[in-house]
Structure 1
Amino acid sequence: MKTVTRTAFSNIRANKSRNILTGIAIFLTTLLLFVIPGVGFGVVNLEFAAVNQVYPTFHGLYRDVSPQTAQNLKASDRLESMGLRCDPAVMVNETYTISMVYLDETCAELNKSELAEGHFPQKENEIVVSEGLLKAMGLEGRIGDTIRVPYQPITNEGLDYSREKDFVICGMTADSQINEDKKLYSAFVSEEFVKQDFPVTDISYRVYFRLPTVSSATTDDMEEEMKDIAAAFEIPEDSLVVNTEYLAANYVDPSTIPMIIMIMLIVVLAGVITIYSIYYVSMIHKVQEYGRLKAIGATKHQIRQIVLREGFFTAAFAIPAGLLAGTATLEGVFPLMYKIINADKKEDMVITAISEIVKNHKVQYLHAWLYFLAAGVALMTVYLSLLKPMKIAARISPIEALRYNGEGRKGKGTRKGYEYLNLFRLTCSNLSRNKKRTVITIVSMAITGVFFVTVSAGLSCAAPRESAASSIDGQYYLSVITESGNKEHPELEWSQVQQNNPLTPEFIRGIESLDGVEKTEVKPCIPLKNKKFEEQLSLVGYSENYAEILEKGIVEGKVTYEELQKGNKVILSKTALHWYPELKVGDKITFQYSDGNVEKEKSLEIAAIGNYSEGIVNYSTFLTAKSAVNAMSQYNVNDALSIFADKDYDAELEKALVAACEKAGGIELADSWQKGYEEYKTSMSFMYLSCYVFLGILGVICMMNMMNTMINSIHVRKKELGMMQAIGLSDKQLVKMLNLEGLFYTMGTLLCSVSLGSFTGYLFFLYAKENHIMGIQYFHYPTQAILGLIIVMILLQVILSTAIGKSLKKESLMERIRFSE
């Protein structure tokens, strides 16, 4: 066997150029197989590490649990640990929402609630605050100081009348920028405060818990156990809140397994097809060499071993190089990637934590299994690629092997000739010699191209500007301020607001007169009640300007805007089916609603189900004609105002709108196009980066495939080309012929890529639009991406053909004619 090994090694040195090119292909494929899962799992591991650093550690919680049920849960052995939280009151503040919260020791640990200094409240008059909270309340104080706090108790009916109480500061918490941005703070109070100030009937807890788990636990199993426990203790299932992010970071999520397998299959398939194509094209022209060995006595087994070992020798150098390059890539890509993302999302605690983890190398994203996976799959593809050449070399006779050039044989061995030859016919003759090689090259390159076009189509449809536009109807959204159950402010009840609604025609005309406002659309709304539904359902009215939108959005049933105007038919929003799956077309339901201080009833028929953008629906349950909603009440039931401006964002107009709302009172600027745009822009930055890095690596391998095919095609035809030049083929004609061959591969690849990629891209758009993914609403053909692909492929083909032509000129005609002799 030493002779076989030496022969294989000698072949490598004798065919350096071809083996170098094949080695580059194996190197790039190994790099792809290493980097893609490395980045994917690295991102997941980093996010999970950040989640464990930032997120609370409870598995789930039950809301609105009575004290008796909480005691029963605590006595049960089905929970590993359990903590209680109670929100007995809120501080009185017009600008900030400040909750007064009681946490027991276990709940504080599960929520990672830590104090900057001091201790948690124990006495009835002790409280924990922060500097930001004190500032928001207009107070000052340090540990040991007494502050007087106005607050409203939370009862079963809502917010009770305000009270005041003196508290002693026993501890301080740290503030974050998020607290100020969201105008949201929390103060900790004691259990004694809850028990002394509130009736037992008004006390309800949030029960935070961890389940006993094993290493093989899955998130689905744990969620089912939470539901079983809730049922056993008569806790409504909708009271369960699962800490999804924490569970995903620490336990097996079955939903991620198919996704990971699918991504890995795409990577492996791309690697297998590409390396097979390149190695097949490289190896078929070496069969003649093995024919000589067979003629002097080599057995079939020895021939197969020579072919196999030659390929593995090449892989032995290329695969480690690919792994090293992949290691360097992963070491560099994570700091760069999260540096870019963190610049746009500084306020995101998880992204900030990930950046810190990457900077301090707290998480290892280079794993031994990753090296074995990439190397194993690369070796497998090399082996699969060698099967065909091994079979050919070992099967045919020595004489046939010496004459073999990879061309197919048909019929009686005759082939079509031409009375007159030109460059085009010469090109076609070469391409038809080995149709399988030609087809494999185009197909393997086209697979990458189809994937590129599909992803580009998805990214072009997920434009941040349009995603933001789909999330809001217009550029600005004003909403009437209402609050239910606040005894201190009964005027905020919707039944009272509609009797003195600030969203009047005069206010609307004032908004329309502002510079930059093109038009407005007011939407009346009536909250509906029915004993079958715990929450109120909303009925929103739309003007005739929305008639076409409402009718085109119908996905089930049928109704016209004129029928909606009659007042007894409505359209059910498809998004509402997530919360009310029992509703269906044809249902007739009697609802109760408040018309001022009078309770009325209305029977409505669900005539259709409609799928609309987030901005149109805006969490409404039922959609109907504006006139139908107005006819249900004698009062002003205008709830929201959509403002369409001549600019997507106008700072001066936004200030004028805020001022108008403050002057009118009872109205707020609830949303804006600019706010949605910034959110979509930052959330899509990582997606764009990761997708194009992946496509870039695939693209390089795709180009290597064409390069390998053309170089090997020219290499095996050196003698033929030399003879043709000897009888009159000029250097210019030679380069033109090479360009025509390359153009055939390029155009064939582009034709398949653009046609199939456009189809699959449009299918993805339809799916994304139907399921409201990334706010996609309109299809945008990825013209720029496709033009870029065309330009790059044509440029590469021209450069490659020219370079090959020049390399041939370096050899004399006699050297080329004597080639392979």
Structure 2
Amino acid sequence: MYETQNKKVINRLAKSDLKSKKMGNLFTMITIVIAASLLLVMGLFPGTVKLDLQRQLEYAQDVMYMGVTKDQIKNLQKDDRFSYMTYDKMGERMEMDDYIIFHVYFDGASTKIKTTELTEGKLPEKKNEVLVSKGYMKKIGKKAEVGTKIEVPLLSGKTEVCVVSGFTKDVKNTNIYQIRHSRAYAEKGSTLKDVNYDVLAKVAGAKSMTQDQFLNVIRDAAKKAAIPRSQVNENNHFVGTLPAGKFDPEMVTIAIVGIIILAAGIMVIYSIFYISVTGKTRQYGQLRTLGMTRKQIRKLVRREGFILALRSLPIGLALGGIFSYAARPGGFSLTNTVVMALIVIAIILITVLLSILKPAKMASMISPIEAANYSAYQGEGGKAQTKKLQRKITPFTLAKMNSARNRKKTFVTMLSLGIGGILFIGAVTFAVSMDKEKFVRQGPFEAGEFVIEISGNASETAKHGEMEIKLQKPFSDQLYDQVNDIPGVKKIHSFPGAEIEYDYQDQSKAADTVSLFTRDEVPEIKKCLESGALDYDDMLKNDKILIRGNDQAEEIFGWRFEIGDEVTLHYWDGKEKTKTYQVAGTIDNYKDGFLNGWFLLPDEEVERQVPGVDLTDTWIVSTDPESTNKVEASLDRLMEQNPNLIMTALRTHRVEYEASANQMILAILVMVLFIVLFSMINLINTLITNFMSQRTELAMLQSIGMTRGQIKTLVIGEGLVLAVGNVIISLLFGSLLGYGVCRLFGYMGVDYMVYQFPLAYSLIYIGVVVLVPCLIALFMIRKFKGQSLVERLREI
């Protein structure tokens, strides 16, 4: 009975105490609300994204086996590891003026894998019936009505008259339009009859597999069906929804960010309770005098913390749930939300317990005698803070002395502020150091604003592909002069290559490209050498070859090009030539985006094999920035006169790439700003609590002659001590963090991160950190005026 009454007394005291310090409680609750909502959003986000993707992929294939024969299809059908299969054909792609048409066949009647979303009409059944989008009808200037006859162009130069049987859903922001044919056309139509089927399949129990298990199943099935690994195309979106294994990089990243948020929350909550305990030293001493034990004092402080946590958690969880749903409605799950909410509750309660552990212990150690003698200016433990007999007394020196007396409180506040400041300066350093122009120009656009290459239409219609087009010399000297003479063109960068077929391992006459290098490029290539050796003359004399991107070869084929192995290349320059080379070495990261294919040979060797052929693959045209638009118009006119060539402009890539960069930077800044918010809450609470605990001392100073202006200087000075300390920590370590991140990106081969000190953002941050103490001081001093000097002196 006695113990029960004691519990009730502690509960009442805790609730009564919380009512008496609403301002401090508000900051604590805001901190807990933000921490809970952030943790819930972060905890739900990966699962929400994956669940959303899984729901979207419910009727999509897990894997596609491309271009398989009828015998291979039969072998796959016998494999009981597949739960469902359907088929399609991918035919000709044809480049029009500013769009591409694509002849395809999909089994629109497929149920578990939906390949056709019919919005109007019916599926094509007759050989001349097609499905198109209304966007395509608009593009060709036809009315979007079922039964409309359209002329569909073919790569051969002919056209076919087709009847629109229905319409498929329009795809936003695309210039590729599918012409979907019937099964009858897929078997006998001119553009599809000679094309092998693709098998779209679902794997039984795939959702319960890891990524490696899934890949092993689909690749083993291909092996047993005699399908080359290069024809296995897993659905990467589906694979992304499967766990990566024991250590999921995405989960590790989220865990690290979560730990940072928790650390910031702990610092703020600890600081608030620490300041609260030091401000109530006399009160705890009085409770000890009345008979409360140290254990009960600790219990009282802990109870206050848990009451605040329990009041804040529902608000934080509700906000987190709302944000999660709003961010990804398609992936929202009530069950997952409830489970994660319970985890967040446990984490927050443990966080609060850890945060108040030290303040609770400190409160329990206060004796009645210490409490009676306590003064806010006395400092920690009443120890002497200096041996100086004389000191200069000004409002600002008093502010510095007060901060120095309670070093622990000052240190905790500075550390909390510093964490936010360091992360903020580091994040904005990342933002300003990202050269968006370089980010956009990754790949061939690094050298210029326009890429001119052989048209896909031309190479697909030619029996021997691009080499047949190159014999016609589309990159002629005359065209070079025409492009070079356009006002505003600075330089034309030319990149050669030879389209070949090769034999190696299970690849027989597989299409690929040989890139060329000169004797002058050897030193740069040697820097990228992974294995083997590079000697230009030895390669010419002993028929040796270099391999690019061996890791990608292993990913696609399941094997690597090994040093000393032989590779047979089939050239064509009007007639076929065959030559076998020995692998001399492997390279990586050499001119990525500019070179094509697995193979790299000396230019003299390739020119020896295909003499007289202009091997130019690509021109990259660089221009004066102010002339780019005019140059594009002139190049468009030249491309119209050269149907074997096609041009791509940098501006078509810029919007997408810049949007991607901005999203990444925004995500980082939003997360960091939440951490800074924690820090600001702590700063504001510290300043207000300091002021409230020093009211009687300030009244005493005012009674002996200190003016209101000097009181203001004193209060502002204490805030500026914290602000200046925070600024020094933030700028020093934040700059080091930002510089380190930029160096790390550089080490990884990323060249668009160029370190820039974020001067403008740093000045804004300094301004905010310095302005907050001044505003709080002005606010509290105005409140201070409402109480007379006599009333404040009575509290001494």
TM-score range, shorter chain: 0.7 to 0.9
Within the candidate set 741, 758, 762, 1:786 is matched to 762
Correspondence 1:203-282 to 2 at 5 A: 204-213=196-205, 216-246=208-238, 248=240, 254=248, 256-282=250-276
SS in 2 for 1:80: strand
- 3-state SS, counterpart of residue 781 of structure 1: coil
C-alpha change, 1:696 and 1:174, in structure 2 (3 Å) is same
Matches of 1:54 and 1:640, distance apart in 2: 38
Using a 3 Å threshold, how does the CA distance of structure 1 residues 54 and 646 change in structure 2: closer, same or farther?
A: farther
Q: CA-atom RMSD, angstroms? A: 4.6
Mapped partners of 2:543, 2:681: distance in 1:
62
1:579 aligned counterpart, secondary structure: helix
Structure 1 residue corresponding to 2:672, chosen from 695, 705, 724: 695
Q: Partner amino acid for 1:90?
A: E
Aligned to 2:390: 419
- AA paired with 2:716? N
For the Cα contact (< 8 Å) 2:429–2:738, is it kept in 1? Answer: yes
- Indicate the residue corresponding to 1:302 in structure 2: 296
Match of 2:181 in 1: 188
Question: What is the alpha-carbon distance in structure 1 between the residues aligned to residue 719 and residue 591 of structure 2?
Answer: 46
Shift of residue 539, structure 1, vs aligned partner: 0.7
- The answer for the alignment partner of 1:430 in structure 2 is 402
- Say if 2:15 is the partner of 1:21: no
CA contact (8 A) 2:414 2:722 kept: yes
Following superposition, the deviation at residue 439 of structure 1 comes to 1.8
Matching residue within 663, 667, 685 for 2:645 = 667
- Give the Cα–Cα distance (whole angstroms) in 1 for the partners of residues 203 and 537 of structure 2: 53
Deviations 1:590-637 (A, max 9, x none): 66363623536586876784536765x365656789888767743321
Alignment match, 1:288: 282
Instruction: Name the residue aligned to 1:651.
Output: 629
In the TM superposition, residue 32 of structure 1 has moved relative to its aligned partner by 3.7
> How far apart are the structure 1 equivalents of 2:486 and 2:535?
31
One-letter identity of the residue aligned with 1:510? Q
Match of 1:634 among 612, 622, 631: 612
Per the normalisation by structure 2, the TM-score is 0.82
Name the structure 2 match of 1:476.
450
Instruction: Work out the CA distance in 1 between the residues paired with 2:20 and 2:518.
Output: 71
SS at 2:280 equivalent = helix
Q: Which amino acid aligns with 2:462?
A: H
Deviation at 1:275, TM superposition (A): 1.6
Does the 8 Å contact 1:585/1:609 carry over to 2?
no
> Within the alignment, does 1:110 sit opposite 2:113 as a pair?
yes
- Gap change, CA 1:103 and 1:772, over 3 Å in 2: farther
**Cα separation, 1, equivalents of 2:108 and 2:310:** 59
Q: Secondary structure at the match of 1:536?
A: strand
Note the C-alpha offset of 1:110: 0.8
Change (3 A) 1:80 1:451: same
CA displacement 1:755-805 (0-9 Å, x = unmatched) = 2222332333344455577x8343333333222222211111222233344
> What secondary structure sits across from 1:650 in the alignment?
helix
Q: Quickly say closer, same or farther: Cα 1:634–1:702, change in 2 above 3 A.
A: same
Contact kept in structure 2, 1:514 and 1:653, CA below 8 Å: yes
1:351 aligned partner: none
Change (3 A) 1:440 1:579: farther
Gaps of 5+ in 2: none
Contact 1:482–1:497 (CA under 8 A) maintained in structure 2: no
Distance across 2 between alignment mates of 1:450 and 1:431: 22
Shift of 1:295: 1.7
Q: CA deviation at 1:678?
A: 0.7
Output the CA distance in 2 between the equivalents of 1:678 and 1:647. 17
Task: Kindly state the Cα deviation for residue 187 of structure 1 after the two structures are TM-superposed.
Answer: 2.2
Q: Deviation digits for residues 240-277 of structure 1, max 9, x if unmatched? A: 22223245458898554333333332322222222222
Q: Check whether the contact 1:82–1:106 (CA below 8 A) recurs between aligned residues.
A: no
Give yes or no for contact 1:63–1:205 (8 Å, CA) kept in 2. Answer: yes
**Number of residues of Structure 1 aligned to a counterpart in Structure 2:** 776
Question: How far is 1:556 from its partner?
Answer: 5.8
- Could you say if the C-alpha distance between residues 573 and 530 of structure 1 is closer, same or farther in structure 2, counting changes exceeding 3 Å? closer
- Provide the C-alpha distance between the structure 1 equivalents of 2:480 and 2:493, rounded to a whole number of angstroms: 9
When structure 1 is superposed on structure 2, of 457-466 and 586-595 the one drifting more is 586-595
The answer to whether the 8 Å contact 1:658/1:668 transfers is: no
Are 2:65 and 2:232, in contact at CA under 8 Å, matched by a contact in 1? yes
* C-alpha deviation, 1:8, in angstroms: 5.6
Alpha-carbon displacement from aligned partner over 1:691-739 (angstroms, at most 9, x marks no partner): 3333333222211111222222333333333333444444333333333
The residue that corresponds to 2:709 in the other structure is 732
Structure 2 vs 1, CA of residues 506 and 722 (structure 1 numbering), >3 Å: closer, same or farther? same
Amino acid in the other structure paired with 1:289:
Q
2:503–2:569 contact (8 Å) kept in structure 1 = no
Q: In the aligned structure 1, how far is the partner of 2:732 from the partner of 2:582?
A: 48
Q: Does 1:489 align with 2:478?
A: no
2:779 equivalent in structure 1: 803
* Worse-superposed segment, 635-644 or 378-387: 378-387
> 1:212–1:692: structure 2 CA closer, same or farther, 3 Å change rule?
same
Residue in structure 2 matched with residue 676 of structure 1 by the alignment: 653
Going from structure 1 to structure 2, the CA distance change for 1:74 and 1:611 (only over 3 Å counts) comes to closer
* 1:221 to partner: Cα distance: 3.4
Displacement of 1:292 in angstroms is 1.4
Worse overlay, 429-438 or 720-729: 720-729
- Equivalent positions of 1:322-721 (< 5 A) are 322-323=316-317, 334=327, 367-369=337-339, 371-403=341-373, 407-408=379-380, 415-423=386-394, 425-471=397-443, 472=445, 473-481=447-455, 486=460, 488-490=461-463, 493-527=465-499, 529-532=501-504, 534-541=510-517, 550=524, 554=528, 577-579=551-553, 592=569, 594=571, 596-597=573-574, 599=577, 601=579, 609=587, 611=589, 617=594, 619=596, 633-647=611-625, 650-669=628-647, 671-721=648-698
* Contact preservation (8 Å) 2:59, 2:114: yes
Distance (Å, rounded) in 1 between the aligned partners of 2:27 and 2:645: 65
Deviations 1:40-61 (A, max 9, x none): 7469637854774488522112
Q: Secondary structure at the match of 1:110?
A: coil
Identify the range of structure 1 (572-581 vs 528-537) with the bigger mean alpha-carbon deviation. 572-581
Q: Structure 1 counterpart of 2:37, which letter?
A: F
Distance 2:145 2:710 in 1: 89
Alpha-carbon deviation of 1:504? 2.2
SS across alignment from 1:634: coil
What TM-score do the two structures reach when normalised by structure 1?
A: 0.80
**Higher mean C-alpha displacement, 724-733 vs 397-406:** 397-406
Distance 1:732 1:145 in 2: 86
Query: What is the distance in 2 between the residues matched to 1:282 and 1:26?
Result: 14
Against the structure 1 CA distance between its residues 815 and 547, is the aligned structure 2 distance closer, same or farther, given a 3 Å change threshold?
Answer: farther
Of residues 85, 88, 100, the one that matches 2:88 is 85
Assess if the C-alpha contact under 8 Å between 1:27 and 1:321 holds in 2: no
- Give the superposition deviation at 1:90: 3.4
Match of 1:753 in 2: 730
For structure 1, the 5+ residue unaligned runs are: 153-160, 335-353
**Structure 1: distance between partners of 2:323 and 2:144:** 52
Cα separation, 1, equivalents of 2:410 and 2:545: 56
Deviations 1:636-665 (A, max 9, x none): 212211111111783332121111122233
Is 1:765–2:742 an aligned residue pair? yes
- Write the deviation string for residues 352-382 of structure 1: whole angstroms up to 9, x where unpaired: xx7xx68xx9987994345545544333333
